[in-house]
Amino acid sequence: SPDARWVASGSNDHTVRVWEPATGEVLSVGEGHTSLVLSVAFSPDGRWLASGSFDRTVRVWEASTGQTLWVGERHSSGVTVVAFSPDGGSLISGSYDGTVRVWDTTVGQHIRVAKAHASDVHSAAWSPSGAWVASGCGGGELCVWEAATGQVMWDRGGHAGGVSHVVFSPDG
C-alpha cells in the first residue's frame, strides 16, 4: 500500500491477498476471478485494490476486507496491467487484446478505450499529474496518450522485443 502498511499479491489460484508485511499475516482474501491474476495495484489512499486477470476482467476490492466493489468486463482477452490515477478517480487496464481502457473507480463505469497497439499491452502507467498515460506492448511499441480524451500523442517502435514496463519520472 502507499503507506507501506500492507503488501498485496495476485495469484494463479485466482485470488488476491492483502498481507501484513512485518508478520506475514493474511488480512484479507479477494475471491471472484475465474483464472490467474496477472496484476494488482493499490489506490493512492490504500483503501482499494485493483486486479486484472486472465479471465478478461478488472476487479476493484475493498483492501481491508477483500469485498468486491465492482467488476469491469470490457476486455476481450486477459488483463495484464492495472493502475490507479494519481487522484484515485480513474483506473487504467491493459490487455492482451491490445487496448488500454479507462474506468471511473467510484462506480466501475467504463469511460473510454485507447486502441493504440497492434499487439498485447504489457505495461501502462499514469504521469504524476494524471494528464498522460504511457503504454508498452509486446510488439516493442511505446505509446503516450492523453488520459482525458484517449487521443494518442505519439506511438513509436524502437525496442527489439516487447516493452515489459513503462514509468514516468516522478517530477512529471
Q: Give the pLDDT confidence of 8-64 residue by residue, as tens digits.
A: 999 999 999 999 999 999 999 999 999 999 999 999 999 999 999 999 999 999 999
Contacts of 147 (CB under 8 A, 6+ apart): 85, 90, 92, 102, 126, 127, 130, 131, 132, 133
User: Smallest Cα–Cα separation from 98: which of 124, 125, 137, 133?
Assistant: 137
Range 47-76 burial, b when 16+ CB lie within 10 A, else e: ebbbbbbbbbbbbbbebeebebbbebebbe
Distance CA 117, CA 134 (A): 12
Residues 72, 75, 81, CA angle at the centre, nearest 5°? 80
pLDDT computed for residue 155 by the predictor: 86
3-state class (DSSP) for residue 100: strand
Position 159 confidence tier, pLDDT thresholds 50, 70, 90: confident
- Give 172 or 13, the one with higher predicted confidence: 13
Position 116 confidence tier, pLDDT thresholds 50, 70, 90: low
Give the residue carrying C-alpha cell 471511473: 104
Position 118 confidence tier, pLDDT thresholds 50, 70, 90: confident
